[in-house]
Amino acid sequence: MKKIVWGLCLMGVAAPVSAAFFQQKADEQAEAKTESPVKVNVQGADEALAENLRALLPSLRALKCDSPTDRVARFIEASDEKLQEAAEAMGYYDARFNVTPVRQAQCLVLNVAVVPGEPVKVTDVKVQISGVGRDLPQFRELAAAPPYQVGDILIHQKYEDFKTSLNRTANSLGFFDAEYVTRTIEVNPDTRQAQVRIHFDTGKRYRVGKVAVQQDVLDGKHLQRFMRVRQGDTYDVEAIRKQQQLLEGGNYYSEVLVSSDYEKAVNGEVPIKIEAKRRKRYSYTGKVGYATDSGAHTEAGMDIHWVNAKGHKLNTRGSIGQTEQSVEATYKVPLWNPEHEYTSLAVGWRKSDSGDIESRATKVGLDYNRRNKSDWQQTVFINYLNETTQVKGEAATNAQLTLVGARVKKTKVDDTPFARNGWTLGAELQGAQQGVLSDQSLLQAKLQGKRLQTLSNNGKVIVQANLGTTLTDDLNEVPKSLRFFAGGANSVRGYGFESLGEKNADGEVIGGKHLLTSSVEYEHPLVDKWSAAAFVDAGNAFDDTSKLTMKVGAGFGVRWKSPLGPVRADLAVPKDDTSDVHFYFSLGPDL
pLDDT tens sequence across 398-441: 999 999 999 999 999 988 788 899 999 999 999 999 999 999 99
Q: Which are the contacts of 262, defined by CB distance < 8 A and separation ≥ 6?
A: 174, 176, 206, 270
**Which runs of E-coded beta strand occur in 494-564?**
502-503, 509-511, 514-525, 530-542, 551-562
Residue 51 has pLDDT above 70, yes or no: yes
One-letter amino acid identity for 392? K
7: helix, strand or coil: coil
Q: Give the residue among 466, 467, 485 at the shortest CA–CA distance from 475.
A: 485
Of 501, 537, 542, the C-alpha closest to 520 is 537
Give the separation between CA 511 and CA 543, rounded to whole angstroms.
9
Q: Note whether 357 and 482 are within 8 A (CB).
A: no
Mean pLDDT of 236-257: 95
Q: Is 48 helix (H, G, I), strand (E, B) or coil?
A: helix
Buried b / exposed e along 327-358 (16+ C-beta atoms within 10 A): ebebebebeeebbbebebebebebebbbebbb
C-beta neighbour count of 174 within 10 angstroms = 27
Which pLDDT value is given to residue 292? 77
Q: Which DSSP letter does residue 292 get?
A: T
CA distances from 245 to 209, 212, 540 (A): 20, 17, 44
In this structure, are residues 579 and 573 in contact, taking their beta carbons and an 8 Å threshold? yes
**For 494-541, how does the pLDDT look when each residue is reduced to its tens digit (9 = 90+)?**
999 899 999 998 899 999 999 999 999 999 999 989 999 999 999 999
Q: What is the pLDDT of residues 316-351, one digit of tens each?
A: 999 998 889 999 999 999 999 998 999 999 999 999
Is the bond preceding 479 in cis, omega lying within 30 degrees of 0? Answer: no
How many Å apart are CA 479 and CA 358, to the nearest integer? 10
Beta-bridge partner residues of 552:
538
Q: Give the tens place of pLDDT for each residue, 343-376.
A: 999 999 999 988 889 999 999 999 999 999 899 9
- Domains in the chain with CATH codes: 3-115 (3.10.20.310), 121-201 (3.10.20.310), 207-278 (3.10.20.310), 282-587 (2.40.160.50)
Dihedral pair phi/psi, residue 512, rounded to 5° = -155, 165
